[in-house]
Amino acid sequence: MPTNVVMPQMGESVAEGTIVKWLKKPGDHIERDEPLFEITTDKVDAEIPSPAAGVLTKILAAENETVAVNTVVAIIDGQGPAEATKVGPKNQQAPVQEPEPEPTPQPPTLPATLEVTPVSATPPIAARVGEKVRSSPLVRRIAREHNVDLARVRGTGLGGRVSKKDILRFLEGRTPVVTEPQTAKPVVVKPPATSLGQTVTFTGPTQLAAMTPQRRLIAEHMIASKKTSAHVTTVFEVDMTGIVQTREEMGAEFERSHGLKLTYTPFIARAAVEAIKQFPVFNSSIEGTNIIYKQAINLGIAVALETGLVVPVIKHAEDKNFLGMARAVQDLASRARSKHLNVEEVQEGTFTITNPGIFGSLFGTPIINQPQVAILGVGVIEKRPVIRDDAIAIRSMAYLMLTFDHRIIDGAVADQFMAYLKHCLENWQEPVI
């Protein structure tokens, strides 16, 4: 019987979505939970799975068309109830689960005890190199995008079938690879190239180009934020020399032990969490004339994509030590770039970190991500001459920028917050391994 496919509700405040691409055409057969189309909103880009198995008989919304949530966009003729079936996060496969969070250290020294439990269970091998691997079209597409030989991924599905969960866990380095035969080529996982610019071909003195749906939604969100909050930015210079040395000395061992690149983001995220604990107003929102303080620190980490910016959220960041933070940052950033985030993973953020420094920016004045009341920007870390004990020294320095909502946060409080954050970073003591 026919099943209606509707535009999902991708977040509490999202009223519409834009269909970016249909992954099937009329007449194609599709399995339940197989990706059917891609959408974009101001919250997230996502692949929407089919609610039923059958034949796609009709497409009712064209690519690049923006439609309201719950609008029927396609019809599938298959075996199922003749009623509208909403496609949303609950129908998507669950994201890869992180290991249990480790105990969080106490400020300001940020000590932590790290215990790593080795994986003892060995799932069945999907297939040996050279044999046919059972997998879905989605899994094969992910493997192609990341240059992964599926014969090297352990499948936990029926008969060793490689599932989406298996390939994502493999990409995160949490599943052992098949080492037989010895002549197999090593797996090289490469993130997709990011080009933030746009090529323009001129046919005259000027060229008209429509905003992409995501760019239009981002523009609307930014304008709304400037109209809502009283934006003020304060800038602090931070000596990152100790953290740079820690990264250089421990980076190789960290990667060998945990399969993760040691980046600067977890250092900054951990320090920000400790500062928020000392100044809870930075983990709040405004509702009318009331301030709503949030107990959970849900840390948004801005990730630049080809089409714009997405901000996945590390939920309960206060419960994570350095290793837990590093795992969460890499997991969410990787899945943001490959468009495998669930809508829940871009919701309920309470504080955001953005890092324009990766592109060489010294500092800027970031716009607050509503309904939050502050956002932390991180400039490039570079060696500069500074005065230490009345002498010129070469140190690794960075500018950190805090934009805050002056309606509820005074300048003195913002500067105290930044001074505490600066102290945590310049006097780092938490173990990273």
410 is a catalytic site residue: yes
* Contact assessment for residue 43 and residue 347, using Cβ atoms and an 8 Å cutoff: yes
**3-state per-residue secondary structure call for the chain:** CEEEEECCCCCCCCCEEEEEEECCCCCCEECCCCEEEEEECCCCEEEEECCCCEEEEEECCCCCCEEECCCEEEEEEECCCCCEEECCHHHCCCCCCCCCCCCCCCCCCCCCCCCCCCCCCCCCCCCCCCCCCCECHHHHHHHHHCCCCHHHCCCCCHHHCECHHHHHHHHCCCCCCCCCCCCCCCCCCCCCCCCCCCCCCCCCCCCCCCCCHHHHHHHHHHHHHHHHCCEEEEEEEEECHHHHHHHHHHHHHHHHHHCCCCCCHHHHHHHHHHHHHHCHHHHEEEECCEEEECCCCCEEECEEECCEEECCEECCHHHCCHHHHHHHHHHHHHHHHCCCCCHHHHCCCCEEEECHHHHCCCCCCCCCCCCCCEEEEECCCEEEEEEECCEEEEEEEEEEEEEEECCCCCHHHHHHHHHHHHHHHHCCCCCCC
Compute φ and ψ for 301, nearest 5 degrees: -120, 110
The catalytic position among 231, 410, 415, 423 is: 410
CA–CA distance, 213 with 216 (Å, rounded to integer):
5
CA–CA distance, 137 with 134 (Å, rounded to integer):
10
Cα 142 to Cα 71, 159, 330: the distances in Å are 29, 21, 17
The catalytic position among 149, 406, 415, 423 is: 406
* Contact assessment for residue 169 and residue 143, using Cβ atoms and an 8 Å cutoff: no
> What positions carry a catalytic annotation?
406, 410
